[in-house]
DNA sequence: CTGAAAGCGCTAACAA
DNA sequence: TTGTTAGCGCTTTCAG
């Protein structure tokens, strides 16, 4: 009894092609791999044979010989994280473009699982691996398993000590962009609804906000800032609180779209119009941002782009040697919708 | 010049182990694969050598020999679909449990890309593949490429003609559950906010609703039903319209959580209390459902479970031969939260 | 320009 | 119980 299951891919090998074309297997291999010094004539005969037999080279055999698998690993700590999918899409996209497949692994944030997955991936001879955080930019140490000289890239997390290239969003720049936009709209008292203190983004975005308003000659006023958690249910109280003070803000920069949705709802309940009476800017550019009434202006987290960059860095490392082990900060673009209104510039405005 | 890049996994082979243990490679292979008839003594020596050398078998070589890769393919038409992640998690979970890795591929719904991915996966000798729809249960035809006898499972999509096992949610049963719950709460006029007609779920869920109220002796009233699209922005007008009629419904069954969120907001704006004045039930059990005020009672789409089942069916087919090519409908459970209130049963109630 | 030969690391008869 | 042998399907010197 043969234990070999009938492979679904046809069982024709390079020898069959060689035989049909009347050449040696070595020659077939050469035309398959585009190695020069093959006469046009043989080249054509081989190609015809390949065609006729519908031959597909067995990439396992090739991998065994070459020690390359054209395969990447992608390990995430949270497969259901809010930001996971888009980054994954970016990674998958570049990988597919360059003929690579990607293994998907979920570590649930447990080092032991990360180790186990890395071990399997190492056994399967993948060419490189991306370690991705699904919901929070964070500094972390080395991979849970020593990877020898296999290329690694960190995504949505970073390290300063392990010599691993890292791709993260430019939260600071994003906050600057959002704040500047509100400033450009003519606002002077920009309120902030922020996330929890155990997220780096919370602090970095606030810093970006602060620097921008100060650069505009305004004074940073802690009374305009509230912080809680990222999701909607926290936005209601925070916004109500912020708007209840004597000198309420004239605009709101919410550091997540979920918070912005809550904020808009509170603003509406108070009988104010967005953007006439008050502008609202979000952060993230989640799918629902464009479906709000009015559609939410927001600072976009460049997730797909980040995934792509991580993939590109990894492939580059695989093909050409280690890329600079820097921290790559991808810019966050402002997505302008209807929850803010650009005022006429002073020069062109009505006097 | 060697083109062989220094493999990150150590280069020790089964021969090194054999040598150190003073046995033949074949013997090492036997203990590695748990084949009996190896003396306890040699077994121990081999294991010691494996340990000492930190030996890890090269799974590429093993795959070449055995024509099995312990690898699955997962192709989705929408990597960023709302339901994609959870199903993926289920698949990844069972795969990892059984020592399989999964290749992730995005076809963007284009047959040409599906074909290309399948081709690559076939070349890489995967053991089986799951074709998953990321956002909509739909009937579809055969895979874009003939897969020979490689096992396939459809997930969140199905076929009646291609002999492929399919896993989908029991939308009908879910609608029955949700409706029955509202009935149990004592409601008599259950309004429905539904999705667009080009989704099968729209019709199936409505049918489930209808059958349930009719089974309870009530008459199906089209005036209680509204339909638009799945997402929030459509929920406002639909709900307002529904509540504005002469005899408004006493409860709302929204066929998506997004619609339910909109409905709740409208209800609140009209000064009604949930659940005192009106109950609201959603569908899907999205992450945000539990964060609403009040937390939303909803019918859960069993996405992780479906992913797991699809994975299990596939692995079973790989290991033991094709499973019955049926359509597996996974039940939708009611997640009871605070937007509905179970009334005391008639018997035990105050007279 | 082409082919013969060796071997990637492993498993599976078959013999001993 | 163990070892010898013969490949899996491919690539790559190296000789012709």
Q: Does B77 touch chain A (CB under 8 A)?
A: no
Are A96 and B105 an interchain contact pair (Cβ–Cβ within 8 Å)? yes
How far apart, in whole angstroms, are the C-alpha atoms of residue B250 and residue B189?
A: 5
A160 CA: distance to closest CA in chain B (Å): 23
CATH architecture, range A14-57? Orthogonal Bundle (1.10)
The residue to which tokens 């799945």 are assigned: B230
Q: Mind listing the pLDDT tens digit for each residue in B17-43?
A: 999 999 999 999 999 999 888 899 999
β-strands B334-335, B297-300 pairing:
antiparallel
* Higher pLDDT pick, B10 / A187: A187
* Residue of chain A minimizing CA distance to B56: A123
Range(s) within chain A of domains with CATH label 1.10.260.40: 14-57
Q: Is the CB of B42 under 7 A from strand D?
A: yes
How far apart, in whole angstroms, are the C-alpha atoms of residue A148 and residue A145?
A: 9
Query: Gap from B57 CA to D5 C1', in Å?
Result: 21
Q: How big is chain A, counted in residues? A: 351
Model confidence at B325, in pLDDT bands (50, 70, 90)? Answer: confident
The answer to whether B285 and B298 are in contact (CB under 8 A) is yes
How far apart, in whole angstroms, are the C-alpha atoms of residue A56 and residue A73?
A: 24
Q: Please say if the pLDDT value at position B2 is more than 70.
A: no
Are A89 and B79 an interchain contact pair (Cβ–Cβ within 8 Å)? yes
Q: Which of B3, B8, B59 sits opposite A148 (nearest CB)?
A: B8
| φ, ψ at B8 (rounded to 5°) | -70, -35
Are B117 and A96 an interchain contact pair (Cβ–Cβ within 8 Å)? yes
The residue to which tokens 């033949």 are assigned: B24
- pLDDT score recorded for residue B272: 95
Q: What is the mean pLDDT of residues B272-276?
A: 95
Model confidence at B348, in pLDDT bands (50, 70, 90)? Answer: very low
- pLDDT score recorded for residue B344: 52
Which chain A residues are closer than 8 Å to B89 by Cβ? Answer: 79-80, 106
Q: Mind listing the pLDDT tens digit for each residue in B278-310?
A: 999 999 999 999 999 899 999 999 999 999 999
Nearest amino-acid residue to D9, taking CA and C1': A61
The CATH code belonging to domain A171-300 is 3.40.50.2300
Q: What is the mean pLDDT of residues B49-65?
A: 95
How far apart, in whole angstroms, are the C-alpha atoms of residue B243 and residue B220?
A: 17
Q: Is the CB of A19 under 7 A from strand C?
A: no
Query: What pLDDT tens digit does each residue of chain A (351 aa) get?
Result: 333 333 334 589 999 999 999 999 999 999 999 988 889 999 999 999 999 999 999 999 999 999 999 999 999 999 999 999 999 999 999 999 999 999 999 999 999 999 999 999 999 999 999 999 999 999 999 999 999 889 999 999 999 998 999 999 999 999 999 999 999 999 999 999 999 999 999 999 999 999 999 999 999 999 999 999 998 889 999 999 999 999 999 999 999 999 999 999 999 989 999 999 999 999 999 999 999 989 999 999 999 999 999 999 999 999 987 777 899 999 999 999 999 987 654 443 333
Please give, one letter per residue, the 3-state secondary structure of chain B.
CCCCCCCCCCCCCHHHHHHHHCCCHHHHHHHHCCCCCCCHHHHHHHHHHHHHHCCCCCHHHHHHHHCCCCEEEEEECCCCCCCHHHHHHHHHHHHHHCCCEEEEEECCCCHHHHHHHHHHHHHCCCCEEEEECCCCCCECCCCCCCCCCCCEEEECCECCCCCCCEEEECHHHHHHHHHHHHHHCCCCCEEEEECCCCCHHHHHHHHHHHHHHHHCCCCCCHHHEEECCCCHHHHHHHHHHHHCCCCCCCEEEECCHHHHHHHHHHHHHCCCCCCCCCEEEEEECCHHHHHCCCCCEEEECCHHHHHHHHHHHHHHHHHHCCCCCCEEEECCCEECCCCCCCCCCCCCCCC
CB count in 10 Å sphere of residue B297: 27
Q: Mind listing the pLDDT tens digit for each residue in B138-173?
A: 999 999 999 988 999 999 999 999 899 999 999 999
Q: Is the CB of B26 under 7 A from strand D?
A: yes
* Residue of chain A minimizing CA distance to B81: A85
Q: Does B98 touch chain A (CB under 8 A)?
A: no
Global pTM? Answer: 0.93
Residues 6+ apart with CB under 8 A from B203: B197
Q: Please say if the pLDDT value at position B6 is more than 60.
A: no
Range(s) within chain A of domains with CATH label 3.40.50.2300: 68-169+303-331, 171-300
Model confidence at B347, in pLDDT bands (50, 70, 90)? Answer: very low
Q: Which nucleotide across the nucleic acid strands is nearest to A64, CA versus C1'?
A: C8
Q: Which of B4, B86, B104 sits opposite A104 (nearest CB)?
A: B104
Which residues, numbered 162 to 221 in chain A, qualify as contacts with chain B under a Cβ-Cβ cut-off of 8 Å? none
Q: Mind listing the pLDDT tens digit for each residue in B187-232?
A: 999 999 999 999 999 999 999 999 999 999 999 999 999 999 998 8
* Residue of chain B minimizing CA distance to A231: B291
Query: Gap from B53 CA to D2 C1', in Å?
Result: 22
Query: Gap from B15 CA to D4 C1', in Å?
Result: 14
Which chain B residues are closer than 8 Å to A121 by Cβ? Answer: 101
Q: Please say if the pLDDT value at position B57 is more than 70.
A: yes
The CATH code belonging to domain B68-169+303-331 is 3.40.50.2300
Q: Is the CB of A26 under 7 A from strand D?
A: yes
Show which positions of strand D are touched by protein (CB under 7 A).
1-5, 7-13
Model confidence at B346, in pLDDT bands (50, 70, 90)? Answer: very low
How many A-B residue pairs are in contact by the CB < 8 A criterion?
154
Could you give the angle at the alpha carbon of A16 between the alpha carbons of A13 and A21, nearest 5°? 130
- pLDDT score recorded for residue B349: 36
How far apart, in whole angstroms, are the C-alpha atoms of residue A191 and residue A243?
A: 9
């Amino acid at each position: 009894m043969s234990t070999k299951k009938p492979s679904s891919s046809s069982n024709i090998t390079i020898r069959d092609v060689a035989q049909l074309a009347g050449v040696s297997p070595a020659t077939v291999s050469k035309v398959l791999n585009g190695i020069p010094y093959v006469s046009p004539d043989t080249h054509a005969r081989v190609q015809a044979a390949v065609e006729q037999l519908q031959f597909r080279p067995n990439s396992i055999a090739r991998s065994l010989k070459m020690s390359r698998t054209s395969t990447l690993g992608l390990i995430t700590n949270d497969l259901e994280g809010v930001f996971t999918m888009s980054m994954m899409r970016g990674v998958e996209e570049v990988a597919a473009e360059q003929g690579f497949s990607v293994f998907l692994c979920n570590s649930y944030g447990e080092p032991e699982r990360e180790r186990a997955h890395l071990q399997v991936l190492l056994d399967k001879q993948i060419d490189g691996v991306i370690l991705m955080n699904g919901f929070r930019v964070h500094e972390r140490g080395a991979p849970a398993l020593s990877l020898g000289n296999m290329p690694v890239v960190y995504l949505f997390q970073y390290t300063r000590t392990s010599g691993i290239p890292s791709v993260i969003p430019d939260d600071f720049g994003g906050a600057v962009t959002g704040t500047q936009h509100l400033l450009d709209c003519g606002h002077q008292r920009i309120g902030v609804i922020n996330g929890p203190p155990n997220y780096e983004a919370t602090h970095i975005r606030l810093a970006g906000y602060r620097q921008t308003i100060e650069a505009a000659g305004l004074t940073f006023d802690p009374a305009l800032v509230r912080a809680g958690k990222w999701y909607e249910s926290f936005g209601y109280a925070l916004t109500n609180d912020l708007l209840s003070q004597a000198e309420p803000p004239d605009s709101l920069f919410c550091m997540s779209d979920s918070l912005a949705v809550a904020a808009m709802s509170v603003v509406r309940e108070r009988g104010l119009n967005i953007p006439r009476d008050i502008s609202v800017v979000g952060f993230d550019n989640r799918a629902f941002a464009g479906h709000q009434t009015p559609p939410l202006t927001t600072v976009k987290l460049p997730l797909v782009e980040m995934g792509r960059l991580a993939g590109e860095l990894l492939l580059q490392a695989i093909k050409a040697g280690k890329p600079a082990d820097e921290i790559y900060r991808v810019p966050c673009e402002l997505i302008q919708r209807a929850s803010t209104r650009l005022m006429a510039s002073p020069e062109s405005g009505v006097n």
